[in-house]
Structure formats: structure tokens, C-alpha cells
Amino acid sequence: MSTATPATANASAKTKQHVKKKLEKQRKAKEKQQREAEITTVPRSIVLYRGKKSSHSMKTLVQDFRTIMMPYTAKNLKSGKTNKLKTVIDFASEIYVTHLIIFNSGIESTKMKIARLPHGPTLEFSINEYSTAQDIRDFQTFMKERVVQMGKIREPPMVVLNNFNTDETQVKLMAVTFQNMFPPVDVQKFKVKDAKRVVLFNYDPETEQVEMRHYFVKRPEASGSEADAAEDEEKEGAPKTRKTQHIRLSDMGPHIKFSLYRVLEGVFTGETIYHSQFTKTPDEIEKQRQQFAQKKALAKQRREQQEANVERKKSERDAKVANKRQKLYETFKDAVSKENTDREGEVDDQSDDEEDTGAKYTPFASRGGASRGRGGDRGGRGGARGGGRGGRGGARGGRGGSSFGGRGGRGGG
């Protein structure tokens, strides 16, 4: 019987570790690819409240609506009073937001606007009634019902539309808008256990109102025989057949009743496609289109003029900076040239002074040797160095002027 050596075991462990790292790397790459694809394909939303004053219930309603749109929305986003709508739209377009939902309350009515980014349309709704999620929980507590406590939301809700199958254009547009606000459901891969929440949109043709509700999905526990049968089918690989599975919906809130007020062509602007209170003739519609076309042309002209002004000011600023730099360069160049000229003049004066001083001043000549000796400065100093006592005589009467002073002085010998 052969036994594995330590070297073989070590190599096997390294191989397993290498394979494990490789699989982990592939898994992370796949998850990254899915996240990148999800960014551009999954609908994302921003829910805001805009207005000078807002009640506590309205702020709570906005927060509840964000909970409905989770997880593909900004739950804790705060919008300042100074933020302009155009800034919000530009910011939302940069982070792949597909729907911008804005609540605002006035003296007469409270409205909800849903805009499809980046080109529209925009649906404006008048909110007739609403109850926050806290109101629903308080009612459930009062009625001694079980209050649903929702944990962290990781999955988007399912969308259920009721009574939207009409021929009216505005109703079809509402249905398409509500569906596109949430990620689509893959029917082939869908499982009932994956359904956690349901958002219901119910349209009433008589009142032309839409009621929106939010539910939590509860699946009743199957009996022992049903669970065993399902387990046996999975083990035996029996063909899957369609079965009716019962689920229970528990109300989470909020409840919102709203009606369509008007539809705009663009993002919070543009031609009015539908209005609930006014009906226009074809001539009025054509006139309105011409007015919007003129506004667009004027806005385009102003934008081009503004861009031209910006470019012109930028060119003038660049030319001014370049001119200033050129002047500084010329000033510096003149200063350097003047300094070099002054320095050359000082060098010439110093050389002239050195030439004059060298003709009159002899630093190595003694007084006696210069006046009496034929050898000049060398004889006098030589007599002083070499002659010792006789150097004084060499300094007085040194004719030879030798540097050693041996013969220069009479008394030097």
C-alpha cells in the first residue's frame, strides 16, 4: 500500500488552493459584470419633495414611497431648498436614473409628478387621498391585527395592474409608466418564493382614479403530505406542471389615491399631450405646437449665443494673460541685459585699475633695494633673507641685487 509523501501532499494542497482562488476570481468577475449590466438595464428612481413648506405627513409619505421603490432608489437623499430642478435632472441623468418622482403640496392640492428621463414624458397626478404606512400600522394595532415588520429590503416588488386594459391613450400611458418604474419579471426563472412584495395599481374607469397599495407576501406553510410530495417530485425529476399556489398579502402601506391631471411631452416641460380639465381643438393644438417650436428655436439661439460669449470671454482672458506674461518676460529680459552690461563695465574698470597699479606698485621691493640696488626689489629682499646681519648692508648698497644677498652687501660677508 502506497502512502503519500509530504511533498506530494504539499503539492496537492497548493493545487487545491490555486483552483479555489481561480474559481473565486471568476465568481467576482461574473458578479462585477452582472452589476455593470444591472446599472444600465434596471430602472432606477429618485423620489423628492419640493416646496417651501411641507407637513410631517407629506414627508412621511415621500419616505414611504421610497420604501416602495427600494432597492433601486436613494432612500436617504436630502434635497436642499436651493437645488434647482435642472441641476437635479442633470445629476440624475449622470447616475443612470430612469424616473424622477417629485411631490409638492400647495394650498389647493397635492401633486405627484413622474418624469421619464432623459427625454420624457411627464405625468402629473393630483393626489386625492393618502394614508401613510404608520397610519396603516396604527390601524392594524387598533384592530388587533398582526403588524408586519419589514426588514432590510433586498428585492424589488412585483407590479400588478388592474383594469388598465382600455383603449384610452392616457390610460395606456399610465400602465406603461407604472410597469417601467420597476424591474421586469423573468417568467422563465420566476419562483413564488422569490416574491417578497407586491405593488398594486387599480384603475377605476368611473372615477378615473388610480389606487396604489403596497403589500408584503406571505406564503402559508404546506402540510406534511404536500411537502413530501413536492420533495419526491424534485428527487425523481418529475416533469414540472403548473400548479396554483396560494399566497397571502399583508398590507404594509401606504395607500394613495390619485388621478391623472395632465401629460407633458418633455421632462417637466414641453407640449401638453393630455389635460383632464381642458380640451383643445386641432387648430389650438397646432398653434400650441408652433409656439413650442418657436420657444425651442429661441432657447437654442440663446444657448448658442451664450456659448459664443463664453468662448469670446475665454479667448479675451487668455489673450490678456498671454500679453501680461509677455510684458513680464520683456521686463525681466531688459533687467537681465542691464545687469549684464553693468557687470561687464565693472569688470573693465577693475582690469584698468589693476594695470595701472601693477606699473607703479611693486609688492616685493624693499625701500633700500629700490633706491640703491641695481636688482631692485629682488636684491633688497634677497639680501634681507639670505644675508642675516649682512642683509642690512645688502639693502643699503647691494649692487648685485641677488636674491640670496650673498654678494649684495659689503658687510654681508
pLDDT tens sequence across 313-370: 999 999 999 999 998 888 888 888 888 887 777 766 666 655 555 544 444 444 444 4
SS3 122: strand
Strand pairing class (122-131; 110-116): antiparallel
Please list the helix, strand and coil fractions of the chain in percent, rounded to the nearest 5, in that order.
50, 15, 35
d(CA 238, CA 217): 28
Report pLDDT for 395: 40
How confident is the prediction for the chain on average, in pLDDT?
77
CB 379 within 8 Å of CB 371: no
pLDDT tens digits for 195-222? 889 999 999 999 999 999 999 888 766 5
- Indicate the range of 90-99, 136-145, 235-244, 311-320 predicted with least confidence: 235-244
d(CA 10, CA 4): 10
The whole-number average pLDDT for the span 20-33 is 84
pLDDT tens digits for 265-312? 999 988 888 988 877 777 777 787 788 788 888 888 898 999 999 999
d(CA 251, CA 139): 11
Nearest to 69 by CA among 183, 164, 174, 175: 183
Number of helices (H), then strands (E), belonging to the chain: the values are: 10, 10
Secondary element (H or E) of residue 248: strand 248-251
- Inter-helix orientation angle 56-69/133-142, to 10°: 100
DSSP for residue 73: B
- Indicate the range of 1-10, 166-175, 329-338, 340-349 predicted with least confidence: 1-10
Strand pairing class (272-275; 209-218): unpaired
Q: In this model, does residue 392 exceed pLDDT 70? A: no
Locate cell 431648498: which residue? 81
Nearest to 100 by CA among 61, 127, 69: 69
pLDDT-derived band at 91 (thresholds 50, 70, 90) equals confident
6 backbone φψ class: left, alpha, beta (φ>0; ψ -120 to 50): alpha
pLDDT tens digits for 137-153? 888 887 776 666 666 67
Q: In this model, does residue 389 exceed pLDDT 50? A: no
CB 395 within 8 Å of CB 380: yes
Give 345 or 191, the one with higher predicted confidence: 191
Q: Give me the helices (H) in 114-205, please.
A: 133-142, 169-180
Report pLDDT for 234: 41
pLDDT tens digits for 30-64? 887 777 777 778 899 999 998 776 778 888 999 99
Give 158 or 412, the one with higher predicted confidence: 158
The whole-number average pLDDT for the span 10-25 is 79
SS3 12: helix
- Inter-helix orientation angle 377-386/390-397, to 10°: 170
By percentage, how much of the chain surpasses pLDDT 90? 30
- Indicate the range of 70-84, 117-131, 299-313, 390-404 predicted with least confidence: 390-404
Report pLDDT for 108: 77
DSSP for residue 282: H
Q: In this model, does residue 162 exceed pLDDT 90? A: yes
By percentage, how much of the chain surpasses pLDDT 70? 71
d(CA 368, CA 122): 118
- Indicate the range of 7-21, 76-90, 233-247 predicted with least confidence: 233-247
Secondary element (H or E) of residue 242: none
d(CA 406, CA 112): 125
The whole-number average pLDDT for the span 82-89 is 83
The whole-number average pLDDT for the span 366-390 is 45
Neighbours of 37 (CB within 10 A): 10
DSSP for residue 99: E
